[in-house]
A and B are shown apart, each in its own frame.
Chain A
Amino acid sequence: MVKMSVGEKYVSKNKDPLIVDFPYSILYKHTFGEVSPFFVGLKNKRLLGTVCRNREKHKNGKDLLFLPPRADCPECMAEVTEWVDLTDADIRIYTFTTAYFAGETFLDRIPYTLINIDVQGYDNSYSKLTSTLVINEPGEINIGLKDIRIGMKIKPKFKDVPLEKVDASTLYFVPAEK
């Protein structure tokens, strides 16, 4: 016996809807506020994070490194004013994925590898910044997609862009070991 869903009588009879075009575009004038030094740092080829040292007030009892940077500590509510330069720090891959599909803006870049980073020497609870890994940069260590692994050593690199075009994608990483 063929069963029917009550849904069958709700199926639309309309076979001829009118479909028209609605274009829509916007330019945002966006501020990076008090973490602007991070983005100015990228322009100057430096990787900067902020640190809150009120460790006795933090849940894990440790200094907290913020990367993405924060101007305020979510745990002790203090203003965070100390910037640390991590350009030459020991940085590893915490996790990664290679993307073969993307949102419209990034379709021309596929395949590309997204990573979360792991800065050695700090608790990494607030500092696993999302970035990209470039594996075939001329003049740098080149590896295959299959060689990318958790724990692998990487180093920051910076695109040359005018200050008004700087964003998080100005920063990227390359392998620092095979």
Chain B
Amino acid sequence: MGNRVAMIAGGMTQFAKARKDSTQEELVMEAARMALFENDLKIDPLDVKKMIDGTIVSYFSDHFERQLLFGAIIRDYLGFNPIQSARIEGGGATGGLGLKAGYEMVKSGDASVVMVIGFEKMSEVSTSKGNEFIALASDTDFDFPVGGYYSAYYAAMATRYMYEFGITEKQMAKVAVKNRNNAQYNFFAQTNSKNPYATKSTSGFITIYDVLNSPMIATPLKRLDCCLMSDGAAVAILAEESIAKELTDRPVIIEGVGNGTDTMRPADRPTTVGGLIKDDLLLPHEKAEWYEDMVYPGLHSFRAGRKAAKMAYKMAGITNPLEQIDVVELHDAYTSSELQTYEDLGLAKYGEGGKLIDSAPFDDEKGVFKEINPKLANRVHVNPSGGLLGCMHAVGATGIMQAVSVMWQIQGKIEKFYGSDKLQVKNAKRGLAHSHAGTGSDVTVFVLGRGW
């Protein structure tokens, strides 16, 4: 197999709307310390640290903290000079792209052990200013000046998605219920009432009625359909396979890596009839006849997500994702985009993302799923961590938080880290971590599998 790359350790901070107790570099230290000292590494953590011969620093915005070249501060604070390092930025997919850069550092032989460090501190400006900074990651000549911001871009896409496929607001709201209630069993999650940094008024369990009755942000998306904004950091340690096996009994192999892209402006997404087939984006388990007449990607699907999935599946030998993947952590920036992403990842047929969420037993009277972390299609668990809706969205850390969560699932360490075994997927052998930017401008997909 050549030199495969493994994830061996991870760490993260408590996520919160505001972590005023610590600076950004102090938060990163918290996650890095956890990665080195709490992941059952077989040799002294400081000796592992000495083996690290590359770092990747991933953060999204220079505006949130008014600090350029933040990577230099972070490397210094963690004591990694003078080894090689690079800053990676790619909007909401910053974390996933950072992991990919770390993977490439090891795969190329330029490094043997790499720490990938993601962070964001979004609380130093007002929420509306923060939304504006995020909106600056849309086209500032044509989309931002007319009043564009991310919830509205996704809302307009959701309107079209509902129009194309008959998806309902109730199906979307179920995603919020699933993810937010999962988060109540994840100690790190921003909405977990037990998190000492949680804002109590916006924490705790929710029902579908809470989602449907929450204030309208941009039709059809309501407050609880939209992701969090967070302060926090997440860290992953990657190593070449043979070294990984010296350092841990439970290395998690990066079996597949994929990355896809699409236009910045929703305005410029092709509306080609049969576009999915013309772009060669059919997955092995799909039939061309399903999609010959479907406009693609339009404003209803994320072509970048499909491209990333196809690439990662090919590398990992995945021929039917729903049968071969046990647990998925995906970028649920909005409830609508989780449903759209089911389809891009091939977990559901295009147009049937709503059916997939409906497949999990739901108590209509109480407005909650019959169990926490429900199986979809009686098979796969999606966003046990709580995702961006329940756990966090500290942009540069998000993709790393989700990949580390998948790693802990495969290692069977969810109880140790989350503080509850309720979210541990029993006997998880293979997982998928998805990271996504813009209105789908950049997406990464990792397939992770048991390496022992």
Residues of A within 8 A of B (CB): 3-8, 10-12, 14-15, 17, 19, 22, 24, 32, 59-60, 67-68, 94-107, 109, 112, 114-116, 123-132, 150, 167-169, 171-172
Residues of B within 8 A of A67 (CB): 267
Q: Which of B274-316 contact A (CB under 8 A)?
A: 278, 299
The reply to whether the CB of B139 lies closer than 8 angstroms to some CB of chain A is: yes
The reply to whether the CB of B6 lies closer than 8 angstroms to some CB of chain A is: no
Residues of B within 8 A of A171 (CB): 146
A4 to B415, CA, bound (A): 8
Residues of B within 8 A of A109 (CB): 147
Q: How many residues of B contact A (CB 8 A)?
A: 65
B304 to chain A, nearest CB (A): 16
- B419: which of A3, A95, A103, A115 is its contact (CB, 8 Å)? A3
Residues of A within 8 A of B25 (CB): none
Residue of A nearest to B33 (CB): A10
How many pairs, one residue from A and one from B, have CB atoms within 8 Å of each other in the complex? 177
- Taking a contact as CB atoms under 8 Å apart, the answer to whether A19 and B159 are in contact is no
- Taking a contact as CB atoms under 8 Å apart, the answer to whether B418 and A5 are in contact is yes
The reply to whether the CB of B51 lies closer than 8 angstroms to some CB of chain A is: no
Q: Which of B420-438 contact A (CB under 8 A)?
A: 420-421
B29-67 vs A: 1/0 string, CB under 8 Å?
A: 010011000100000000000000000000000000010
- Tell which of B129-137, B358-366, B394-402 binds the partner: B129-137
A86 to B265, CA, bound (A): 20
- Taking a contact as CB atoms under 8 Å apart, the answer to whether B271 and A124 are in contact is yes
Q: Which of B111-149 contact A (CB under 8 A)?
A: 124, 126, 128-129, 131-132, 135, 139, 141-149
- A128: which of B218, B219, B266, B272 is its contact (CB, 8 Å)? B266
Query: Given A7-B187, A95-B160, A106–B147 Cβ distance below 8 Å?
Result: yes
B241-273 vs A: 1/0 string, CB under 8 Å?
A: 000000000000000000000000111111110
B23 to chain A, nearest CB (A): 9
* A to B CB contacts below 8 Å, 5 in the list: A3-B419, A99-B155, A104-B132, A116-B266, A128-B271
- Taking a contact as CB atoms under 8 Å apart, the answer to whether A12 and B21 are in contact is yes
- Taking a contact as CB atoms under 8 Å apart, the answer to whether B128 and A125 are in contact is no
